Every structure is written in structure tokens, then in C-alpha cells.
Amino acid sequence: MEYFYKTYEECRNRFRNVANELSSNYNNARVGKIKVDSMIDPDLTVDWLYIPAQQQPRKLLVLTSGLHGIEGFTGSAIQLMFIDRILSRLSLEELGVVFIHGLNPYGFKYFRKVTENNVDLNRNCVINPRLYQSINAGYSKMSNLLIPKGELSIDKLQYRFFHLNAIYKIIKESLPILRQAALQGQYEYERGIYYGGKRLEPQLAALEPLLRTLFEDYQSILSVDLHTGYGKRGKMHLFLNPINDEKVLAGLDYVLDGEKINWGSDADFYTINGEYLEWMGQLANEKLCIPIRFEYGTLDSQKTLGALKSIQIMISENQGAQFGFKDQKSKDRVMQDFLDMYYPSTVAWRSKVLTDSSIKMSKIMNRFLEYEVAGADQRKAIASITTQK
């Protein structure tokens, strides 16, 4: 359990120490931080470590934690585990690695999923700014249910029961179109859940030129984004927006080697606008950028009861954050539920997450390094012919 901490600062300190130590072991490694301005806190940073390929740059791994702030505790633990157990066994002759730690430091530190502007970063990653002006009519139809007004009180259980039942009917049973509308992201209700913002959030705007520059040196990129809260408890899910690009699909297929993917377009799932991994694919331009989003399940949200509980917790936490809590008891209860949903405290859950990640990520890295081996051989053959002349 050595990788799991209770506060943002502890996670960040550990990451910084490890990053500084590592950077002195490799040629031209760099550490850095992006300061995120805040109305309440002068010490919020996205920290990063870049170790370039040590000989011939070909492939780049980008491993991101804390895009959804509170999910950063587990993401940070996985990054630390990856550095300890996997990185040292990888050859960095052709492989470069970037670790992005705590992409949403405000949410990380204050136990929220969203940024200080109530923005869900996984709805905010927009290349075409017209998306920020888009209207989500389905969301509007449900806005009273999705954004209840007034102080949150846990004593009003009766009310919440009916309220949630209504949402559940709409989302799960009656109208899949509306479920999609509720979850895909919205750009009108700044106090609502799944709000994508009006412009790129500052840390993404700062990250963009850095990523573009790093990508220039490599031929292909594997981008892994770490999340918690969705799916079967203790299970490591692979969750992706649909992909049309055949080159990306082929790469993904090879790298995953038969691992099951939950596609957002499947019957019980949903697609997302403004997604981080899609944005990164666009920053990579013509290069191959293979996206992988890991979700570590906590509440069995694939089942009826878990789905109901998940949305209840999300709506309640947001209501408290927007309109306040009626009393301390209500606040404690909701915050504890929120923490249990995104950062379970049991040893069983945490060790399962680490073990599964260690096995699957080792395998994925080996496959990624192998991929296009034929291409490399061909290049060697061409090179030797050229030399023989």
C-alpha cells in the first residue's frame, strides 16, 4: 500500500522526489510543473517528468493521472508503481516516456472531480471551439433533475428517492437518447454536472505546446489516461470513444492483444464530447496515437443499483458544492460517499488495482515496443543495402 496517500501534497511530494531522482539517471531528462491559478490556493501544480528516448526516438508513452481530480490518488499510485516495477525493465533506447501528474490539481486537493470552474476536463478538450457554443437539448430537458437547487440535506431522503428514481427511469430504461445527452457533456449549465466549460482550461492550454513539441521527435505515441469510478468493482476496464481511424484501430488491436474494450457506442455505454485522449490524437496530427483509458470500477455501476447510486452521489456532491450543505452531517456523508466512489480505502481494492495494472501495463508496453517491428527491420534492410553501395 506504499503508493497510496491521503492528500494531494503527499502524492505530489512523492512524485516530485521520484521524478528528480529518475531525471538524474537518464540523459536529457526534464522535470517541470504547470502552475494552475486559483481564487483560493496559490500552490496548485500539474507536475511532469519527461525522459527522452536515449538513442533513436521512435515511440513515446504518455501516462496521465488526475484528469478527474479526486481520481488522482489512484492514478498517482499507478504512476509510482509503473516507475518502480515496469519502467526499469523497459529499454529506453527508442522509447521516451512522459508522466503527467495531477492534471486537475484543484480537484485532487479538494476531493472534487471537476476543476475550480466546475469544468469536467474530459468534456473540455476541444480543438474546434464551436463545441463550447453547442446546445445539448436532451440535457436541458432533464436539467431540473440533474441540477437540483438549494442546500443539500441528507434528511430529505424521501425527496431524493423520488428524484433519483425519476432520473433512473429516464436514463436507464426509457430513453437511451436522453442518457446519452446527460453524459456526453454540456456547455450551457456552468453549475451542472458534466459541464465542459467555455474555453480550454488553463492547464490544458499550457500543456498543449509542450505535448506538440514532444510529439515531434517520435513516430508513434501511446497515451494512457487513468480513471476510477466506472464499472465493476475492482475490475480494470478499458473504456474508449468510438474510433474511425483504421491506423489507430490496428495499433490498438495489436497493443491490447485481445483485451476487451468497452466502446462508448455500445448499447449500455455513452460517447463523450471534448475527450482528452481524442484531443491528444489531434495534437499528434498525422502520427499514430493509440489511446487507452483505464477505469477501475468501484461501485458496480454496470448494474442497476450501482448505476443509481453513482448518479445519486454525483448529483448530491455537485449540489453541495454549488449551493452548500444544510449541516455538517450532510456534508460528511456526501463527501464520504464521494470518496468511496472514486478512491476506495480497502486494501483488497487497492492491491487488486496495483496487481492488475502491473500485469496489463507490462504486457501493453511490450506489445507497443514490438509494434511495427517489421517496419524497423525493413528500415534496417534498406540501411544495409545503402551501406553496401
Q: What are the residues binding Zn ion (CB under 5 A)?
A: 68, 71, 227
Q: Tell me how far, at minimum, the Cβ of 222 lies from Zn ion, in Å.
A: 19
β-bridge pairing 30-35 and 45-51? antiparallel
Q: In angstroms, rounded to a whole number, what is the distance separating the alpha carbons of residues 310 and 241?
A: 21
Reading the block at residue 139, the C-alpha cell is: 440535457
Q: Which lies closer to Zn ion via its Cβ, residue 254 or residue 263?
A: 263
Q: Is the C-alpha dihedral spanning 243, 172, 120, 235 positive or negative?
A: negative
Which residues are within 8 A (CB) of 327 and not within 5 positions of it... i.e. 6 or more apart? 153
Q: Which lies closer to Zn ion via its Cβ, residue 82 or residue 230?
A: 230
Q: Which lies closer to Zn ion via its Cβ, residue 71 or residue 116?
A: 71
Q: Tell me how far, at minimum, the Cβ of 233 lies from Zn ion, in Å.
A: 16
Q: Tell me how far, at minimum, the Cβ of 68 lies from Zn ion, in Å.
A: 4
Q: Tell me how far, at minimum, the Cβ of 121 lies from Zn ion, in Å.
A: 9
Q: Which lies closer to Zn ion via its Cβ, residue 71 or residue 201?
A: 71
Closest CA to 62 of 353, 355, 368: 368
Q: Tell me how far, at minimum, the Cβ of 293 lies from Zn ion, in Å.
A: 8
Q: Which lies closer to Zn ion via its Cβ, residue 14 or residue 227?
A: 227
DSSP string spanning 323-386? H-BSSHHHHHHHHHHHHHHHS---HHHHHHHHHHHHHHHHHHHHHHHHTTHHHHHHHHHHHHHH
Q: Tell me how far, at minimum, the Cβ of 67 lies from Zn ion, in Å.
A: 6
Angle, CA 315 vertex, CA 12 and CA 354 arms, to 5°: 35
Q: Tell me how far, at minimum, the Cβ of 104 lies from Zn ion, in Å.
A: 10
Q: Which lies closer to Zn ion via its Cβ, residue 47 or residue 120?
A: 120
- Exposure class string for 169-203: b at 16+ Cβ within 10 A, else e: ebbeeebeebbbbbbbbbbbbeebbbbbbeebbbb
Q: Give the residues across from 238 on adjacent strands.
A: 294
Q: In angstroms, rounded to a whole number, what is the distance separating the alpha carbons of residues 71 and 242?
A: 23
First to last CA, the chain: 59
Q: Which lies closer to Zn ion via its Cβ, residue 59 or residue 68?
A: 68
